[in-house]
């Protein structure tokens, strides 16, 4: 009797068929469930540039508001940017860009939601990436060496795979960055448009 163990079948990429051709995943048999995803990005800059962002003194004006609105717009167009991404009817999309002196940068957080047959991970990640890129565009006139780091999924829920959360090690290096403080918690005395306000939300309808 052959007692050799068979090699487990390698997990296949869902967007590639057995012949190696790209394809959109057929989700018609999946159940409609409430789905939510959170993504983040970190924009690292000098303390001087960060001060200009907080004070609203950048060459292009209010960095935070423009970046948050750009993130919402980008997340809504994820399926137009990612070839095999399903078009979704989002039920919610929130983007926040929060200055953080401790890392000399701005933390971007995007949260997307829908009720449907496929997840909103890409919508959240595109929203975070577009917001981060918009920050760069808004400040490149004063600092071209600004870096965009850690564009990544933080968590997702809903669907067959259920919940997933990025693990954080003791140093915080391998997992999700701490959730950004609300804009209203920027230190007292902050000037300009960086004063407290709600996260940008996709308009209803």
- Span 45-79, pLDDT tens digits: 999 999 999 998 777 789 999 999 999 999 999 99
| pLDDT-based confidence at residue 87 (cuts at 50, 70, 90) | confident
pTM across the whole model? 0.73
Task: Give the distance from CA 5 to its chain's centroid.
Answer: 42
Tokens 């993130």, residue located: 71
Q: DSSP labels for 111-174?
A: EEEEEESS--HHHHHHHHHHHHHHHHHHHTTT-TT-EEEEEEEEEEE-STT--EE----TTSSS
Selecting among 48, 55, 137, 169, the annotated active-site residue is: 137
| Total residues belonging to the chain | 205
| pLDDT-based confidence at residue 84 (cuts at 50, 70, 90) | confident
Q: Is the pLDDT of residue 155 over 80?
A: yes
Q: Average pLDDT of 101-127?
A: 94
137 noted as active-site residue? yes
What pLDDT is recorded for position 12? 65
φ and ψ at residue 83, rounded to 5 degrees: -55, -40
- Give domain 33-158+193-201's CATH number out of 3.30.70.2740, 3.40.50.1000, 3.30.70.640, 3.40.228.10: 3.30.70.640
Q: Where are the domains of the chain?
A: 33-158+193-201
What pLDDT is recorded for position 203? 54
For residue 124, give the nearest of 101, 158, 147 by alpha carbon.
158
For residue 67, give the nearest of 175, 182, 196, 199 by alpha carbon.
199
What pLDDT is recorded for position 14? 66
> What are the C-alpha distances in Å from 116 to residues 28, 35, 89, 91, 92?
10, 7, 8, 10, 13
What pLDDT is recorded for position 173? 44
Contact partners, residue 85, CB within 8 Å, separation at least 6: 78, 79, 122
What pLDDT is recorded for position 160? 78
φ and ψ at residue 123, rounded to 5 degrees: -60, -40
């Amino acid at each position: 009797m052959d007692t050799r163990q068979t090699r487990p079948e390698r997990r296949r990429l869902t967007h590639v068929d057995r012949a190696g051709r790209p394809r959109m995943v057929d989700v018609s048999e999946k159940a409609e469930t409430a789905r939510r995803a959170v993504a983040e990005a970190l924009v690292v800059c000098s303390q001087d540039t960060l001060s200009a962002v907080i004070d609203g003194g950048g060459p292009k004006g209010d960095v935070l508001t423009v970046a948050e609105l750009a993130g919402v717009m980008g997340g809504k167009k994820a399926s137009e940017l990612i070839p095999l991404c399903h078009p979704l009817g989002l039920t919610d999309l929130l983007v926040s860009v929060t200055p953080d002196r401790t890392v000399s940068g701005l933390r971007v957080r995007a949260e997307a939601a829908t009720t449907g047959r496929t997840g909103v991970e890409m919508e959240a990640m595109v929203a975070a990436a577009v917001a981060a890129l918009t920050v760069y565009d808004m400040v490149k006139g004063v600092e071209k060496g600004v870096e965009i780091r850690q564009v990544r999924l933080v968590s997702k829920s809903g669907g067959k795979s259920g919940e997933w959360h990025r693990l954080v090690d003791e140093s915080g290096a391998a997992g999700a960055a701490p959730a950004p403080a609300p804009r209203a918690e920027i230190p007292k005395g902050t000037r300009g448009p960086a004063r407290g306000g709600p996260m940008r939300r996709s308009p209803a309808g």
